[in-house]
Amino acid sequence: MQTQLFHMDQMEEAAALIRAGHCVAFQTETVYGLGADASQEDAVKKIYEAKGRPSDNPLIVHVSSVDQARELSAAWPKTAEQLVQAFWPGPITLILPVKEGVLADVVTAGLDTVGLRFPATEAAQKLIQLAGCPIAAPSANSSGKPSPTTADHVYHDLQGKIAGIVDTGPATVGVESTIIDLTAKAMPVILRPGGLSREDIQAVIGPVAVSTSQVADDQTPIAPGMKYKHYSPDELVYIVDAPIDEWGHWMSHFQERGEKVGVLADQAVLNRWGKEAVAQFSLGDEGDEISASSRLFEGLRFFAETPATVILAQAYDLKGLGAAYMNRLEKAAGQKYLR
């Protein structure tokens, strides 16, 4: 299949592909999504095929208005109304009871709930409006690889496997949406930390729990006990949770074993140790977890074009978007810490 490239002024052509049951990648504020008409079973199946993603994992449904979200859900609790008033369009996905018969079964993977999201980019909103249907979309990467924050990332992973990509510039938040389950009886539960912080959510609806299970993950384990492979570049990734002085020790540790070390860290660490690495990628100013979240996935992809065999990546505090950054980095690193 030839993958067609579009820009903002060709959105109607991209929308026509969606209506015809094909997959098109598009920019949201979090990451690029791989979209298909959420009411067409065969169209949605193409998403799973293109990504190589297990189809027992449900997809988020994207809408271009609050009313459209209400039409897809069987209940609309007060917390949903408060959250959408405060944060939509924006990087938060609500898990709500699904209305029967409006979405293809494969979207919800047989669950009686659905993840609903109103993305903030003009590109996403226009595509949904012109297509005239809710759009199911996971991140537009090959399953297991870092999520795409540019159209180039999508092209690299999925060219020849999808009908189109609309290139309208980079995704600025850089980590996927925060997923919050509003169907739980006791209190809302964050299933996946993401582009909107727990602190911001709690300021609007009060206390929320955070799930420690892996349900909101991109891949289901193939066998019990099997490790998740997620957000993983080909290089081995280690998380450095140590003072700046100790980076040199860990770099030598790997260099003595014949590895070529790449460093993914803030500017302070790079200024001090960058020249001893074979490649370096800046996450931004020291202590800026917003910048780190926005650059993480691009950074994880960057080292493929360099001689690096090992990536040492910096740990951040869990405050604000630091929780999402560390969640994705821990998966990329398979929990391997150096301290």
Q: Binding residues for ligand TXA, per CB under 6 A?
A: 28, 30-31, 33, 57-60, 93, 95, 108, 111, 113-115, 117, 119, 137-139, 176-177, 179, 191, 215-218
Nearer to ligand TXA, 56 or 317 (CB): 56
Chosen from Mg ion, ligand TXA, none, partner binding at 90 (C-beta under 5 to 8 Å by type): none
Q: Which pair of structure tokens corresponds to residue 294? A: 């926005």
Nearer to ligand TXA, 98 or 312 (CB): 98
Rounded to a whole number of angstroms, the minimum distance from the CB of residue 287 to Mg ion is 27
Question: Using alpha carbons only, how large is the chain's radius of gyration in Å?
Answer: 20
**Judged by CB under 5 A, how many residues of this single chain contact Mg ion?**
2
Alpha helices in 52-150 (DSSP H): 66-72, 78-87, 105-108, 122-131
Rounded to a whole number of angstroms, the minimum distance from the CB of residue 15 to ligand TXA is 17
Nearer to Mg ion, 93 or 139 (CB): 139
Nearer to ligand TXA, 147 or 280 (CB): 147
**In which element (H, E) is residue 61 found?**
strand 60-62
At residue 19, the 3 state secondary structure works out as: helix
Query: How are the residues of the chain apportioned to helix, strand and coil, as percentages rounded to the nearest 5?
Result: 35, 20, 45
Q: How far apart, in Å, are the Cα atoms of 116 and each of 68, 94, 134, 140, 192?
A: 10, 5, 10, 17, 14
Chosen from Mg ion, ligand TXA, none, partner binding at 57 (C-beta under 5 to 8 Å by type): ligand TXA
Nearer to Mg ion, 155 or 273 (CB): 155
Rounded to a whole number of angstroms, the minimum distance from the CB of residue 113 to ligand TXA is 4
Q: Which of residues 201-260 bind Mg ion (CB under 5 A)?
A: 218
Residue 30 found at the interface with Mg ion (CB under 5 A): no
Nearer to Mg ion, 109 or 187 (CB): 109
Residue 139 found at the interface with Mg ion (CB under 5 A): yes
Q: How far apart, in Å, are the Cα atoms of 7 and each of 26, 72, 232, 236?
A: 10, 29, 29, 35
Rounded to a whole number of angstroms, the minimum distance from the CB of residue 124 to ligand TXA is 8
